[in-house]
Amino acid sequence: MQSQAKKPIRVRFAPSPTGALHVGGARTAIFNWLYSRSKSGKFILRIEDTDKSRSTGEAIRTILQGLEWLGLDWDEGPNVGGNFGPYHQAERLHIYQEHALKLYRSGKTYKCYCTPEELDAMRKAQEKRKEAPRYDGRCKNLSRAQLEKFGMEGKPCVFRFKIPETGTTVIDDLVKGKVEFKNELLDDFVILKSDGFPTYNFAAAVDDNLMEISHVIRGEDHLSNTPKQILIYQAFGFPLPAFAHIPMILGKDRSKLSKRHGATAVTEYEKQGYLPEAMLNYLARLGWGYGDEEIFSREDLIKKFSLDRVVKTPAIFDTEKLDWLNGHYIRKSLPERIADLAEPFLMEAYPDIKKMETEKTGLNYVIRVVKCLQDRLRVIPDIVPLSEFFFKDVSEYEKAAAEKHFKDPNVSETLNKLKEKLSALKNFDHQSIEGAFKGLAEELKVKLGIIIHPARLALTGRKVSPGIYEVVEILGKEKVVARLERALDYLKTKD
């Protein structure tokens, strides 16, 4: 049975650096981080880099980058240190080898000399008999003479763990409840490979004990690994941690989350213009809930997070909901911050911004544009199409809007008088601009919309834009007058 003894709260996130930090791993890291912070515990980062062929330094860097972007700080681990290091498994090989020998000497493991070809033939024979593929234990009872012979020949071997032939292994899971596995259905699995590197289940169990991990919180795809790790704990006489297997994340079509559902690497979401607080909030809500609340600050999440609110059913990744949440956080952010994030996208789309920056007007202009459009953004790149008329001259007018707002026979006179009034303004600010529009409406004895709609089309080329006074003020007198003159020239060609 799982130990319920009180321990200091110590949880770990232990990614394998074979690729970037993906959504599922990020959510696991968030749940561990929140649990540790909610319990005044420790959050440990451990890099499980024993897969020599697939682990890379670049993957480690992107994982750390993703965690840092989300604001998940670790108390022990790479770049931080701690009393239980090293925190890279590739630097702990001697520890696993010592523990493997200890189990071997106690008779709880055995050396297996089967070649890959023999194992492949074994699997094929089992499949032909419609049996579940598993090691048949043929090396479990090798005689001392055979072992000595293989040793003298230098024949490579692995260490296999002896699974009890009867009984059950029970997981008292904090999310899924009691889960039982029949030992007879488990395989005598390898714990140490012939090159001296450990397998995942063995290294994870040894490290979780040595690092005094109190709670193992991970995806339910690891549930099948847990009985093997429990058996390793029991073989050593280690106290068991608490286990919590959190639900899988699926796409809206309820299939396994993949790139076709959108970007799955956290760093890709950063590049696509999502804010870290939005991503943290959204991922924390995938498989965990607090009533009907959707929006949580970092402090709220720490205060309210608990494992008993983690659901058992799969979580559905909904990009539309993430976009909505991201829009909320964009609206709550300082315009200067959003301008800083938007500037690379704008500079790529509108190279003239670089010239504006050399004239020391660019950043201020971008901030003013952001303030004008901020409430309309769901992701940062949305600003590029929305702001086009602020950075490029209007070369054409929306057809339907032109047919509606440029068809009035008096529209040329209206726009010409507006140009004159705006040109005459000494203070080109919101109040003065609004006064010019309203004054012209009174002078012409028309509704304000008769002036605003064709003016908006002339200045933006669009039927819809932010408030016209704000647009006029940001564009500035020179651009506004030039665009009104161009619209008047356009209208002459339509007469």
- Total of domains in the chain: 5
- From the list 352, 427, 344, 426, the residue with the least C-alpha distance to 393 is 352
Residues 186 and 236 in one domain: no
Inside any domain, residue 87: no
Give me the CATH number covering residue 159. Answer: 3.90.800.10
- pLDDT of res. 2: 46
Tell me: do 303 and 343 sit in the same domain: no
Asked whether residue 297 falls in the same domain as residue 283, the answer is: yes
Residue ending a domain, choose from 331, 361, 380: 331
Q: Residues with catalytic annotation?
A: 259
pLDDT given for residue 495 in this prediction? 64
> Which residue, chain included where needed, has tokens 């213009």?
273
Distance, first Cα to last Cα, the chain: 89
User: Side chain identity at 171, as an amino acid letter?
Assistant: I
pLDDT confidence of residue 356? 63
Identify the pLDDT of residue 3: 46
Q: Decide if 232 is inside a domain.
A: yes
- Per-residue pLDDT of the chain in tens (495 residues, 90 and over written 9): 444 446 799 999 999 999 899 999 999 999 999 999 999 999 999 999 998 888 899 999 999 999 999 999 999 999 999 999 999 999 999 999 999 999 999 999 999 999 999 999 999 999 999 988 889 999 998 999 999 999 889 899 999 999 999 999 999 999 999 999 999 999 999 999 999 999 999 999 999 999 999 999 999 999 999 999 999 999 999 999 999 999 999 988 888 877 676 667 899 999 999 999 999 999 999 999 998 999 999 999 999 999 999 999 999 999 999 999 999 999 999 999 999 999 999 999 998 776 665 555 566 889 999 999 999 999 999 999 999 999 999 989 999 999 999 998 999 999 999 999 999 999 999 999 999 999 999 999 999 999 999 999 999 999 999 999 999 999 999 999 999 999 999 998 876
Looking at the DSSP bridge assignments, the partners of residue 192 are 159, 198
pTM recorded for the entire structure: 0.90
DSSP 8-class letter at 314:
P
Print the domain residue range for 301: 259-331
Residue 197 in any domain: the answer is no
Neighbours of 52 (CB within 10 A): 9
In a domain, 479, yes or no: yes
Virtual CA dihedral for 344, 317, 13, 94, nearest 10 degrees?
-100
Integer Cα distance of 341 and 6 in angstroms: 46
Q: What is the CATH number for 288?
A: 1.10.1160.10
Tell whether omega for the bond before 247 is within 30 degrees of 0, i.e. cis.
no
Reading the block at residue 405, the tokens are 């707002």
pLDDT of residue 1: 42
407 shares its domain with 482: yes
Same domain for 111 and 183? yes
CA angle, corner 69, sides to 66 and 70, nearest 5? 90
At 384, give phi and psi (nearest 5°): -65, -55
CA-based radius of gyration for the chain: 33
Judgement on whether residues 486 and 467 belong to the same structural domain of the protein: yes
